[in-house]
Amino acid sequence: MKQGFSNRRDFLKTSAAASGMALLTGIQAKANSNNTSLKAATRIRFGVININHSHIYGMTEAVKRGGGELVWIYAKEPELVAAFMKQFPEAKLARSEQEVLEDSSLQLILSSGIPDERAPLGVKVMQHGKDYLVDKPGIITLDQLAQVRKVQKATNRIYSIMYSERFENRATVKAGELVKAGAIGNVIQTIGLGPHRMSIKSRPEWFFDKARYGGIITDIGSHQFDQYLFFTGTTEAEVVASQVANTHYPQYPKFQDFGDVMLRGNGGMGYIRVDWFTPDGLASWGDGRLTILGTEGFIEIRKNVDIASGHNGGNHLYLVNQKETKYIDCSKEPLPFGQLLVDDVINRTETAMPQAHCLLATELALKAQKNAKTIQLVK
């Protein structure tokens, strides 16, 4: 496969040109409403193994838009399987994980299993000669990362993580095009905010156990590391500082509800803040925002909601540069990730996301999580 990019301009030219958890019903409805493409001709066949997070619905839709034919579904939980097969009735129910892995007609496996099980499954997928698309966090320890890198290099398979806050957000895709076109000059910093709603009654037991979900920076922060690397064109970076806390949920001592990170790299600087404090009064699971600071202007994205205007829904982009201040409704922008990933599966290329970028984003998240200072608030 083609190697990572050595400089910011080449990275953005190739990638941008190509290019929380919510309740199950909400994710399904969003996947349906955003799926504006006609059914693509079949180009690859794929299966799904483990569906413990409802992000699997958007992942499946993305691959189908790109020309993937869904063949198999396997998961241990009958209620999750029933809901998935209602949404995707073409899927056949496999008797075991192995039945899916050993189907030689499949080129790709998707998974949104419990986070600590995702990387071990990905290793098996690659060892069975298949590519892998996994929900974030796709890897939750540095030991898992080392094993994934070893097997990926040996098998030359694709290990892709669905950083959906970029790939499945139309305003963020549009921002990539604007940055590539030089609308704000050279990017020097990103500020990514990823608040999420707790929805505590809907959460499974593993959600509150850091050993299973990886910690707040590893989990919901992973999106932000991806966006930092992408928009700054950074290929080498370090974590300057990171901190985590459990400020509000003493009944869950292994849980973290706040985290933030400061980054610097060879393409720019970054700041990340993530939390589980979206109030019920907000008409979204989170007021996700991304600010991209350039030498000639800035872009601000309101991903899911825009409380400061009368604009409905999400996918709002504000562009300010030397020429204008402009609002762009990005709700009709295309989502190219699924098409590009299927292209990469077929052509053995890296147009959807370079492999080095995918794993570097995770590496930075894991290092920030591991070295984070734990804050104890006294009130």
pLDDT value for 14: 37
Cα 223 to Cα 217: distance, rounded to the nearest angstrom: 9
Cα 242 to Cα 57: distance, rounded to the nearest angstrom: 32
- The answer to whether the CB of 101 falls within 8 A of the CB of 124 is yes
pLDDT value for 310: 85
Cα 236 to Cα 222: distance, rounded to the nearest angstrom: 16
Residue ranges of E strands in 81-195? 92-93, 108-112, 131-135, 159-162, 187-195
pLDDT in tens for each of the 379 residues of the chain?
434 333 433 433 333 333 333 333 344 444 444 444 456 789 999 999 999 999 999 999 999 999 999 999 999 999 999 999 999 999 999 999 999 999 999 999 999 999 999 999 999 999 999 999 999 999 999 999 999 999 999 999 999 999 999 999 999 999 999 999 999 999 999 999 999 999 999 999 999 999 999 999 999 999 999 999 999 999 999 999 999 999 999 999 999 999 999 999 999 999 999 999 999 999 999 999 999 999 999 999 999 999 989 899 999 999 999 999 999 999 999 999 999 999 999 999 999 999 999 999 999 999 999 999 999 998 7
Residue ranges of E strands in 258-312? 258-265, 269-275, 289-294, 297-302
Phi and psi (nearest 5°) for 316? Answer: -105, 135
Per-domain boundaries in the chain: 20-163, 166-334+367-375
Please tell me the chain's helix, strand, coil percentages from 3-state DSSP, rounded to the nearest 5: 40, 25, 40
* 20-163 and 166-334+367-375 in the same fold: no
Q: Which two tokens stand for residue 1?
A: 């496969």
Q: Whose CA is closest to 307, among 287, 291, 289, 327? A: 287
The total of other beta-carbon atoms located within 10 Å of residue 164's CB is 20
- The answer to whether the CB of 217 falls within 8 A of the CB of 274 is yes
Task: Name, in order, each residue with C-beta under 8 angstroms of 86's C-beta and a sequence gap of 6 or more.
Answer: none
Cα angle 64, 148, 242 (rounded to 5 degrees) comes to 95
Class of domain 166-334+367-375: alpha beta
As beta bridge partners, residue 135 has 162
Q: Which two tokens stand for residue 261?
A: 């990170």
**DSSP state at residue 130:** -
Asked if the bond preceding 279 is cis, omega within 30° of 0, the reply is no
CATH level 2 (architecture), domain 20-163:
3-Layer(aba) Sandwich (3.40)
Q: For the full predicted model, state whether its pTM sits above 0.85.
A: yes
**DSSP state at residue 235:** S
- The answer to whether the CB of 260 falls within 8 A of the CB of 274 is yes
